[in-house]
Structure 1
Amino acid sequence: MAATNENPIIFYDLADANGKSWSPNPYKTRLSLNYKGIPYRTEYISFPDIEPRMEELGLAPFSATFPYYTLPVIADPSSDPNGKPTYVADSFKIALHLDKKYPAPHYPAIFSPGTAGIQHMLMTNYRMTVGAPIFPLIHPQILRIMDDRSIEYMRRTRGPRLVPLSEDEATEKWKEAREKFAGLAQSLALNDETGSTGPFMMGDRVSFADFALAGIFYWIRNVEGPDSIRLKEILEWDSGRWERLWKAIQEIENKSSEIV
């Protein structure tokens, strides 16, 4: 049974102090659902409530080490009217599930034929490329958008990650980020030479890799605000390549299939 407006997928997303979406990982799933046009309803959860909520749903831990549960998670309705939904965690696995359950051509594919393995390889190395130098710049700032319970929880469970970099360290990380983006842009420029010109990582074809990269922009925008100097600089890098990608992704974000 496919999700419908009356019986949509339930999408479990992280909430900020205002009960709104902000995190890059659930954002990938939000984009996956929007892109495929699958009806979904969002249930927002704060950090300290993730584990008890997942246990309440009867889900076994996703990891043998802390944190035992992470978001995003989806609950996809069963084809049996009396059956239980299928729960899927991890944004990449969710995208694979959605492509299998809601296949092309009726629904657009996130993974073009033959690209799932390559995209997984890219995602495996993702934190070691463009994401790695940006994480320590943004993560220490996330407390500013959280409610008091989440702030206490994060300080207790993620304390070392919340220590801000020194000015010199931050400058070095930003320089490293610039170099990583430049290297990625150089590789993507090869698409232009093969006639696949477009704003996405695969030229004119949307891929999960686009959602992952855009997650960085989304994260910075929500943590530092829409006037973030860092985001402005990134979007100007490499002759505006990242701004073109971001604008294309925002169209997917805004063309929502969410049931509100």
Structure 2
Amino acid sequence: MDTSKPILFYDIASGPPATCFAPNPWKTRYALNFKGVNYQTEWVELPDVTGVRKRLGAPPNRTHRDGSAFYTLPVIHDLSTGDIVGDSLEIAQYLDKTYPDGPSLFPHGSTVSHDAKGLNILVDTLFTQHVVLFIHGMPLNPATAKASKATFCERAGVDDWEKLTVRGEERAKVLNSFKQALGNLADLYKKNTEGPFLEGATPSYADLIVGAWLSFAKATSKEWEDIQTWHNGIFGKLHQALEKYAEIN
């Protein structure tokens, strides 16, 4: 295998300038940097995601509420092997299998790594249930913002962009609900006092899942400064500890 060839990593563009903000691509970016593999980012405008994914031959891994195909990112195209993988968890598993040298995303004997899929669903659900706190803060490209907003409305099953946010007292209620929900996740981190990761000083893919959503919150939420202090600063410390894996190539 010619490892001099990069992995092409397809990520949703913000901006300009283009940078990473979406949670699922963040999971893959963290994983690529953690593994130390050679990769380069291919930025994709949100309205172009479906076309790019179809062109790559990456089947949809989700469906809309009406059962139709839901095309999203990340996708990787490994030029060294020719493999194309289009799901964040499957990408992480692929990286560990194909590039076994270096740190493992799913270390043997790790309790949390054993059920990474379950944790992924848990964390995705927690943040998605409170996503109205974040959507209007997404750094959309002005040139494609109208089409991007329409895409998000379609995904959410609403007909008006304004229905995808909350303000005033309602926002305070949702924010309090989010804080309480994060408390349950914080309890998992409190089990290991060595921290800042779930199993001590070394991260696993489980931590990258949480970190990805925290990076999304930082990029989109005006309450981020408060969020990172909640629950004795557990999530602020986690986000800071993952900064070394946040490089954008």
Normalising by structure 2, report the TM-score: 0.85
- SS for the counterpart of 1:74 is strand
Name 1:120's counterpart in structure 2: 117
1:38 aligns with 2:37: yes
| 1:237 positional shift | 1.3
- SS for the counterpart of 2:134 is helix
Q: Deviations over 1:86-133 (max 9, x none)?
A: 100111110011011111xx221011115443221111222333x144
Which ranges in structure 2 are unaligned for 5 or more consecutive residues?
none
- SS for the counterpart of 2:93 is helix
* Aligned positions of 1:8-87 closer than 5 A: 8-18=6-16, 19-63=18-62, 65-79=67-81, 85-87=82-84
Which ranges in structure 1 are unaligned for 5 or more consecutive residues?
80-84
What is the rounded CA distance, in whole Å, between the counterparts of 2:106 and 2:190 in structure 1?
21
From the superposition, tell whether residues 63 and 187 of structure 1 become closer, same or farther in structure 2 (CA, over 3 Å).
closer
What is the rounded CA distance, in whole Å, between the counterparts of 1:203 and 1:16 in structure 2?
33
Q: Which amino acid aligns with 2:132?
A: P
What is the rounded CA distance, in whole Å, between the counterparts of 2:246 and 2:151 in structure 1?
33
Name 2:239's counterpart in structure 1: 246
From the superposition, tell whether residues 30 and 157 of structure 1 become closer, same or farther in structure 2 (CA, over 3 Å).
closer
- SS for the counterpart of 1:172 is helix
What is the rounded CA distance, in whole Å, between the counterparts of 2:69 and 2:148 in structure 1?
12
What is the rounded CA distance, in whole Å, between the counterparts of 1:187 and 1:56 in structure 2?
41
The count of aligned residue pairs is 237
What is the rounded CA distance, in whole Å, between the counterparts of 1:253 and 1:190 in structure 2?
26
- SS for the counterpart of 1:13 is strand
> Percent identity between the aligned chains?
27
1:186 aligns with 2:187: yes
Name 2:135's counterpart in structure 1: 139
Q: Deviations over 1:65-99 (max 9, x none)?
A: 445321000001244xxxxx110011111001101
1:98 aligns with 2:95: yes
Name 1:214's counterpart in structure 2: 211
- Range with greater deviation from structure 2 (174-183 or 91-100): 174-183
Q: Deviations over 1:174-195 (max 9, x none)?
A: 1111112222222321212xxx
What is the rounded CA distance, in whole Å, between the counterparts of 2:136 and 2:45 in structure 1?
17
